[in-house]
A and B are shown apart, each in its own frame.
Chain A
Amino acid sequence: MKPINEVRSVITPLNRKNVDTDQIISKEFLKRIERTGFGKYLFHHWRFQADGTENKEFVLNEDRFKESKILVAHDNFGCGSSREHAPWAILDYGFEVVIAPSFADIFHNNCFKNGILPIRLRIEEVEELLTKGETAPYTLEIDLEQQTVIGEDGKTYTFDIDPYYKQMLLNGWDEISLTFQYEEQIAAYEKQHA
């Protein structure tokens, strides 16, 4: 997986609570056996009308957000199904960072396995970002090493992240290779519980 540290981009404000993974990637796209190419299906039923034309009302379809790498959403982002196709679609579409006041556990975990940085900020901070981002294009600079989020107006936020997952993201490590270093402990556990 690709390492991630500094990301600078306009934010895409998705002002909704409880965005579930069924909305992020709908079930009709889960039949594919590949791991790539899900970006074009991201938020499909919100992005497109039934006749296949773009829904102009939906935030991702606004020109000013087309190059955005940072998605900002409300509480409990990624709830519901465990489908990893959701983070695959988010990453493939071009988002590298998701900011929200809270994330559902499985989705949060899945982000770390794919080089997406999920950032939890306080509710009032996220709401401030959503308002700024909706009013005019608003650029954030994210620094994972420093654990900071800095707005174009100089407003600075800090965030917490589990040190284990921070290292994984910074280095783009393959977790399975890391775990193989504990082969001895795994074998001992199996012997003891056989």
Chain B
Amino acid sequence: MPKTIIEKIWEQHIVYEEQGKPDLLYIDLHLLHEVTSPQAFEGLRLAGRKVRRPDLCFATMDHNVPTRNLPIINDPIAKKQITTLEKNCEEFGIELADMEHPDQGIVHIIGPELGLTQPGKTIVCGDSHTSTHGAFGAIAFGIGTSEVEHVLSTQTLWQSKPKTMEIRINGKLGFGVTAKDVILAIIAKFGIDVGTGHIAEYTGEAIRSMTMEERMTICNMSIEAGAKAGLISPDETTIEYLRGRRHVPEGEAFDEAAEEWLSLATDEGAAYDTVLEIDANEIEPFITWGTNPSMGSGISANVPSSEDFADESDKEALKKALAYMGLEEGTPLSSIEIQHVFIGSCTNARLSDLRAAAEVIAGQKVHPNVTAIVVPGSRKVKRQAEEEGLDKVFLEAGFEWRESGCSMCLAMNDDVVPAGERCASTSNRNFEGRQGAGSRTHLMSPAMAAAAAISGHFTDVRTMKLAHA
């Protein structure tokens, strides 16, 4: 019987199964960071347990790290969390890319960079955006700290088998439409909880023509549609990305691995529990206007009105969201002015994202009302960008060029949007207070954020691109 990649990987990882119980799944890669791991290590110590497979763990520091004046952390509580991870990794023998290590970066950016992320693996991390790694054809999902402790001690997790979902993007993307626009459009169309209880596979022509970095942007936000994980069947693009990376096999062993990886792809005729479809040509550059990632529209639209919703609770949710966001119903999105731009996060801080933003701003100046920062996703991305001179493009335009980390995506460090101010952000969540208490977040692609930085308000980047052409 034809199978989906989801079923194939799941079945390969069952350690034990019994009627009436979740499956006991083996975990191939466990990524760790400073925020969701200290209580797990403490749990091990209290119970006198050890880490079963330190060789399958990899840790870095990203959520809390400063993006300037490294390595000084002013907040003593944050500093303690950082030093706690150092001590834990040392005590339990886990490889760590610390704050100043050349491999440091956002955990979901460095996993693929280092070749730790590979097709067919089960990958977990105490972080919901672990779904990013699904771009390689892996089952990758976020877990809580108790599960982090469980994986540390047993290298397994009890997991009920999720349903399978296909999200098919039909046709080709239009001019100036990016992976971020696609995933935001999917979430807006189908809703913030459409994926609950499912692992989603993204398919279709538009996905096949995407680079690995674009595919990572898509899979990254699967959790924003409620899915446990999101993935894409491996193909030649996947293989070429992995070739030569540090942790992948070399020579003949690579060719053997590649053959095995390609065989994981969903079989022709395999059935999914749920199928969603969207036409690529209905997607335009997209931004969010509300307080969850499903509250978004194409840039040519207006802020919705309550008449646009039939359900009373949706009308109420709109009212609450607009009150928080300081927006009026019916306002054209392109007229909304901003004070901040954040280009960064595990969604959009890879080299191609920085290139896309740099292309838009080259030779122009950031609007005088706007403070704009670029936070590369990893030290490697930062080095590569500097080799290409992208840092100069940003600096000359008036952007700040920072060190890598999660930064203003969740504002755990000093990179905070002040209350009442508005930020065009390439991150993944626009929840109330996400970028600082009272801050107002609008999600969009790097190109759209760059366009807003120049004009001081949301702008259809396609018009700017055409003007350049």
Contact = CB atoms under 8 A, between A and B. Distances in A.
Interface string A52-82: 0000000000000000000000111001111
B197 interface: yes
Contact of A31 (B35, B313, B429): B35
A53 B432 CA distance: 19
19 contacts: A20-B292, A22-B410, A22-B431, A22-B433, A27-B412, A31-B75, A82-B36, A82-B144, A83-B36, A105-B197, A164-B22, A176-B149, A180-B154, A182-B156, A186-B154, A186-B155, A190-B26, A190-B155, A193-B26
A34 interface: yes
A104 interface: yes
Interface stretch (A90-98, A109-117, A139-147, A149-157): A109-117
A34 B81 CA distance: 10
A104 B47 CA distance: 30
Contacts of A30: 35, 63, 412
A135 interface: no
B42 interface: yes
Contacts of A17: 313, 317
Among all A-B residue pairs, the 8 with the closest Cβ atoms: A113-B146, A84-B144, A33-B38, A82-B142, A110-B144, A84-B145, A76-B193, A82-B128
A50 B313 CA distance: 27
Contacts of A113: 144, 146-147
A28 B144 contact: no
Interface stretch (B13-21, B255-263, B299-307, B327-335): B13-21
Contacts of B223: 80, 106
B150 A175 contact: yes
B196 A105 contact: yes
Contacts of B144: 82-84, 87, 106, 109-110, 113
Nearest to A84: B144
A141 B24 CA distance: 34
Given A179-B150, A179-B154, A186-B154, A79 B226 contact: yes
Interface in B265-321: 292, 313, 317, 320
B80 interface: yes
B356 interface: no
A23 B431 contact: yes
Interface of A: 16-18, 20, 22-23, 26-28, 30-35, 45, 50, 74-76, 79-84, 87, 102, 104-106, 109-110, 113-114, 162-164, 175-176, 179-180, 182, 185-186, 189-190, 193
Nearest to B21: A164
A194 B196 CA distance: 34
Contacts of B43: 35
Interface in B133-164: 141-147, 149-150, 153-156, 158, 160, 162
Given A182-B24, A185-B16, A18 B196 contact: no
A79 B192 contact: yes
Nearest to A175: B150
A102 B150 CA distance: 26
A162 B23 CA distance: 13
Contacts of B431: 20, 22-23, 80
Given A31-B412, A106-B143, 19 more contacts: A22-B431, A23-B431, A27-B412, A33-B38, A79-B193, A79-B292, A80-B128, A81-B127, A82-B36, A82-B128, A82-B143, A104-B196, A105-B197, A109-B144, A113-B146, A175-B146, A180-B154, A186-B52, A186-B155
B36 to A, nearest CB: 7
A179 B158 contact: yes
Nearest to A20: B431
Contacts of B156: 179, 182, 186
Interface residues of B, number: 66
A33 B39 contact: yes
A106 to B, nearest CB: 6
A164 B158 contact: yes
Contacts of A34: 39
Nearest to B130: A82
A76 B226 contact: yes
Interface in B386-430: 410-412, 419, 429
B81 A31 contact: yes
Nearest to B53: A190
A132 to B, nearest CB: 17
A28 B410 CA distance: 9
Interface string B71-114: 00001011011001000000000000000000000000000000
A84 B150 CA distance: 14
B30 interface: no
**Most chain A beta-carbon neighbours within 10 Å: one of B144, B313, B429:** B144
Nearest to A193: B26
A27 B429 CA distance: 13
A109 B158 CA distance: 10
B15 A110 contact: no
A4 B86 CA distance: 36
A34, A179, A180: which has the most chain B beta carbons within 10 Å?
A179
Contacts of A45: 432-433, 437
A164 B24 CA distance: 12
B288 to A, nearest CB: 14
B379 interface: no
B26 A186 contact: yes
B41 to A, nearest CB: 9
Contacts of A75: 193
